[in-house]
Copies of this chain bind each other. A is one copy, B any other.
Amino acid sequence: MSLKVFADVMSQPARAVVIFCRAAGIQHEHVPLRIANGDTRTPEYSAISPFNKVPVIKDGDFVLSESIAMFRYLAREKEIADHWYPKDSKGQARVDEYLEWQHLNTRINCSMYFLNRWMWPMMKQTAPDEKNVAKLLKTMNKTLDEIEKVWLKDGSKPYIAGDRISVADILAACELEQPSMAGFDVKANRPILSAYMERIKADLNPHYDDVHSAVYKMRDKFGGDIPGIYSSKAKL
């Protein structure tokens, strides 16, 4: 098998690429990495990923970083159903429009909440900075509002880029799962987003739940708590 996908399933875009390969039926070998164990900091990995990031794909001798560049490359190179990334120029542009928008919106805002509310405090064994977290929560909620209002047109669109599921939905859902590990469920009090997330999960299962199993475990074990230091329900 010539396509290798180097991915840590704790990373949102890494999960998205693995789920895409599985759901679209692209033959690949998932090379599991653990960022937390230093797997992306070895000299061997630096040679294929100068920024030491996941995911990376290696297709024969061709090495590529950046998940969105991968979706496009794989859509050109492999036999997949058209809806994942339409060949029709305007349909493709609609998918691209979200893929580009999300970097400074869904991606950064859900990530920053997750990192500041839970991941970094957990690593440092300190309580999160509540003032900073409140600010990041507000920014993240603005993004969630925009996804519901603009991208899903107040619930009248089933998918981000039209009537069929695309890579835009895979990436969106993976980013939207991340704050769950910090004790925040993006679906709470949001019927439009909730129905959307359930739809994406159902379309992508069993791959979605399987690739998210490590995320679900962290969510269920900690739910945003930092044991002995900080509880989501009450300060210790």
Contact = CB atoms under 8 A, between A and B. Distances in A.
Range, interface on chain A: 20 to 34
A107 B146 CA distance: 21
B97 A72 contact: no
A51 interface: yes
A73 interface: yes
Q: Say whether chain A's binding surface is mostly helix, strand, loop, or mixed.
A: helix
B108 A96 contact: no
A77 B89 CA distance: 8
A51 B150 contact: yes
Contacts of A68: 96, 100
B51 A73 contact: no
B97 A108 contact: no
A92 interface: yes
Contacts of A65: 97, 101
A51 B66 CA distance: 25
Interface string A61-74: 01011111100110
Interface of A: 50-51, 62, 64-69, 72-73, 76-77, 89-90, 92-93, 96-97, 99-101, 103-104, 107-108, 146, 149-150
